[in-house]
Amino acid sequence: MTPGEQLAAFLRNVAQTSDSPLGLVVERASGCTIHAAGGREYLDLLAGIGVCALGHGNARVLEAIRVQAEKHLHVMVYGELVQEAQAALARKLASVLPATLDNVYFTNSGTEAVEGALKLARKATGRTWLVSCSGGFHGDTMGSVSVGGNPVYRTPFEPLVGDVAQIDFNDFDGLAVIDERHAAVIVEPVQAEAGVILPKPGWLAALRARCSEHGVLLIFDEVLTGFGRTGSLFAFEREGVVPDVLVLAKALGGGLPLGAFIASRSVMRTLSHDPPLAHVTTFGGHPLSCAAGLASLEVMLEEKLADRAARLGEWFTDRLRQRLRSPAVREIRHAGLLIGIEFDAASRAAAFTQACRSEGLLLGWTLHDDRVVRLAPPLVIHEAELDDASLRMERALSRTAAG
């Protein structure tokens, strides 16, 4: 199809999720660049919303996909046949996580992993109530929306899964809500869609202590923050707080669809009896995705990309603070290479994003705070590319202010 035919088919036959999709016709992607129809190039500062941690077209990942594709694709519903790619990735994940997170249940996506984690918590504790945080985002299926922190995305689909209480992220007093009624608390250790909100010192530790005191499972949603994004392999390492259940996706699959929820064997075993097959999936842990994910994780560890993200995040944020000096920019926050630029108004953030696109930069605002522009570039991005990006953003801000 020609680029025009592709766009027409996209608008007519692909279900739309907004009234104004970006509509870029992608020809190919390589490194940190997306090549669009007409020869236009965009520096990708979103990495597919955190998916492409190694950039586009990493040679090790592509080779792993090729090798696995020649062996086999789907062979059986999840959890029945031994597949090397699944077993190897699960073993590797267990090796880099605390000893209490040694049992992996693979899914297709982050929201499916959240659903599995919520079911696991209810099954393991025998309780029904859940606790989540205002501003939190955990996906778009029914259970995930039920624990989401923005009423805008909950209200149209009510009634949702019941027995959910919400507390404010970073509110120490709010932790008193958590008691023996609750099966689990689900929280992002860094809130991404809320505008890159970092936890106050000690808050996650206090949350951990409260959950332990009342036998409540603590679920950390690291769908976006995992795999080096925040400057440590997992964001919970920044605070030294270990969850009972860890939810992963996005960068987990090396660019292919893959999610997981991880717990101890003793907790996870509750899904295998009363009844057996209490949680099943057909395509979860697809061998292609697991092979790609293993190759991606190996590259991350060998090249110490988490450390690199910590160093580059500090450097890039300093550059942005120097070059985006304007009354319109209220604050620039970051955790590693997860960066939020908060504007004084949503209209200003939207105009800035559009101006950046004209400068050949791909970025966007956060779902739960449209005043905040989020950056999540590939962890392999070069310093020179980030420096160039900051100059383009400076020009975009100047045009936005002038307009």
Active-site amino acid positions: 137, 221, 250
CA 142 to chain centroid, in Å, comes to 18
d(CA 146, CA 196): 21
Number of helices (H), then strands (E), belonging to the chain: the values are 14, 15
Q: Strand (E) positions, 205-251?
A: 217-221, 245-248
User: What does the alpha-carbon distance between residue 391 and residue 393 come to, in Å, rounded to a whole number?
Assistant: 5
Per DSSP bridges, beta strands 41-44 and 361-362 are: parallel
Considering Cα of 78, then 82, then 83, then 88, what sign does the dihedral take?
A: positive
Q: Residue with structure tokens 């209480």?
A: 165
| CA–CA distance, 324 with 44 (Å, rounded to integer) | 19
Side-chain half-sphere CA neighbours of 368 within 13 A: 21
Residue 303, both tokens? 């090249």
In terms of Cβ atoms closer than 10 Å to its own Cβ (0-12, 13-18, 19+), residue 177 is middle
Strand partners, 153: none
Cα–Cα distance, 336 to 196 (Å, whole number) = 11
Token code pair at residue 312 = 């580059």
Strand-pairing partners, residue 188, are none
Smallest CA-to-CA distance from 378 within 290, 319, 308 is with 308
Alpha-carbon span 336 to 160, nearest angstrom: 35
Placement of tokens 């994940």 in the chain: 93
Q: Which residues neighbour 262 within 8 Å (Cβ) at sequence distance 6 or greater?
A: 93, 97, 101, 102, 103, 104, 105, 245, 246, 247, 248
Going by DSSP bridges, is the β-strand pair 217-221/182-187 parallel, antiparallel, or unpaired? parallel
For strands 182-187 and 372-375, give the pairing: unpaired
